[in-house]
Amino acid sequence: MSETELPLTDMTAEQCLAMADSYAVDENWDEALTVYTAALTIWHSNTAVKFRILSHRSNCFYQLGNYEMAQEDALEATQLLSSSVAGLRPGESEVAWKRQGLAAFQANKFADAKQAFESAAQLATLNQRDGKFYRDWIQKCDTKLNPPAIAQSTTTTAEPLKAQTAPTSASTTVPVSHKPATKTSIIAAPRYQYYQSDKFMTISILEPNLSSEHVKVDWERQRLNVTVVKAGKEFSLIAGPLYDEIDPSESKIQYKPEKVLLKLRKVNEHEWKELMGKESKKATTSTTSSATQPKVRPYASPKDWGTIEKSIQAEEEKETPQGDDAMNKLFQQIYANADEDTRRAMIKSYQTSGGTVLSTNWDEVSKKDYEKERTAPKGMEWKTWEGDKVPMDED
């Protein structure tokens, strides 16, 4: 695939999810669907990751017009919410219910759609978001479930009009309009979340119906400022230095009905620990301060602990490891200095052979199935994940 050379079987569910999200941002729905499905097959224990895969794949099915599968994935994702799911981002549960409602409505399951939109509306209220979107969809569901009766024609009866008599009382009743007192509504600040691949950092602004008139983005090589106008009020959503450098010329903005996506192209292809970084201090300031101020030692100790630590590290490097330690250090050096193909070969051969083979030849390892070729030591028994026994060594 274009995003990475790593086979999906050698990736974690989180890595597959990030890759699929990148395809989805580019609206490459077929590729995204394939990788979401792969992520689901290798998922192990993190419930939040499974919830995210199902919710995102539901949107993928929806975009491809497969509303039955979209509803099924969204339903399975929301069923996970019956128990506490740690690690979910703000608004993710609401979006899953929303996707279930949209898919069910398109599949003509209007009762299910209404129930999903009602759940999403409750979560929107808890998140201090306007629930008008859901109220409109609930009204559409009610219209489908209870279509209005056709009004009877007034031309079928021809009763004579009765003469109206004037009221006997001289006093007339004037209707009084009771206008509700206006309340000052608190506008909740827009929310956002982000996810990444090695090449891109993607920021999702979780506000519907935004356009270029509402969003202002100023990006520099290592700084980002995002301003959003909501209900006539301006919010500074992101402002400050980024964790690492980006290429503004290859970064882009995408406006969608339910959100806005900022796709930042990384200069250095690696995973960021977080979105925002720290302000860099001027070198002149640090040089001046270090030249004029005495060196601060912890607890006012006369010992230079920095020098002591360096001397200990130097002694450890001089030590010659023996036995298994020497072998492990050799393998660590080979792995650290190897290219990507060599590292993949070492990982796959060691893991799939049960620790009996360690190869650096990717051309050979990529074509070989060590799980079928390996044998258990005499007197012991190996089984596959499916429960099939692995042949035993007869020596």
The count of C-alpha atoms lying within 13 angstroms of the C-alpha of 367, restricted to the half-sphere facing its C-beta, is 3
Assign domain 192-265 to its CATH architecture. Answer: Sandwich (2.60)
Q: Within 10 Å of residue 361's Cβ, how many Cβ atoms?
A: 13
Please determine, looking at this structure, whether the domain spanning 8-145 carries the CATH number 3.30.750.24: no
Write the CA distances from 114 to 77, 146, 160, 189, 196, integer angstroms.
Answer: 17, 12, 46, 27, 34
Q: Please, are residues 91 and 127 in contact by the beta-carbon 8 Å criterion?
A: yes
Q: Which of 261, 263, 251 has its CA nearest to residue 210?
A: 261
Local confidence pLDDT in tens for the 395 residues of the chain: 444 444 566 788 888 888 889 888 888 899 999 999 988 888 878 888 999 999 999 999 999 999 999 999 999 999 998 887 888 888 888 999 999 999 999 999 999 999 999 999 888 888 777 888 999 999 999 999 988 765 444 444 444 444 444 444 444 444 544 445 444 567 788 888 888 888 889 998 988 888 899 999 998 999 999 999 988 888 998 989 999 999 999 999 999 878 899 999 999 988 888 898 886 644 344 444 444 455 554 444 556 667 777 788 777 777 777 777 777 777 778 888 888 888 888 888 877 777 778 888 888 888 887 776 666 667 777 676 667 776 655 54
Tell me the domain boundaries of the chain: 8-145, 192-265, 323-395
